[in-house]
Amino acid sequence: MNESQRRKYDILLIRLMMISKTIKNNDIEKEKWKYQRYMQDYLATISSVDDNVGRVLDYLEEQD
């Protein structure tokens, strides 16, 4: 991770901590928020994997 990426990551973490603090008094809302964050991260990961598998398949087809 380069310096620019690290700064963006740190800013994201600060924002997430601030959001988390605003909902800490309501356990149900906090659990919903955690679940939504988990799903967003999961779907972003799946999308990235899908894109890269497609790139590998395209490369393999070009090699034939």
Is residue 2 a part of any domain in this protein?
no
Each residue's pLDDT tens digit, 25-63? 778 888 888 899 899 999 999 999 999 999 999 999 999
Is residue 11 a part of any domain in this protein?
no
Is residue 63 a part of any domain in this protein?
yes
Count up the domains in the chain and report the number. 1
Task: Fill in the amino acid letter for 57.
Answer: L
Is residue 29 a part of any domain in this protein?
yes
User: The pTM is what?
Assistant: 0.63
Q: Residue 9 contacts by C-beta under 8 Å, 6 or more apart in sequence?
A: 1
Domain that includes residue 64, residue range: 25-64
Q: Rounded to an integer, what distance in angstroms lies between the CA atom of residue 61 and that of residue 46? A: 22
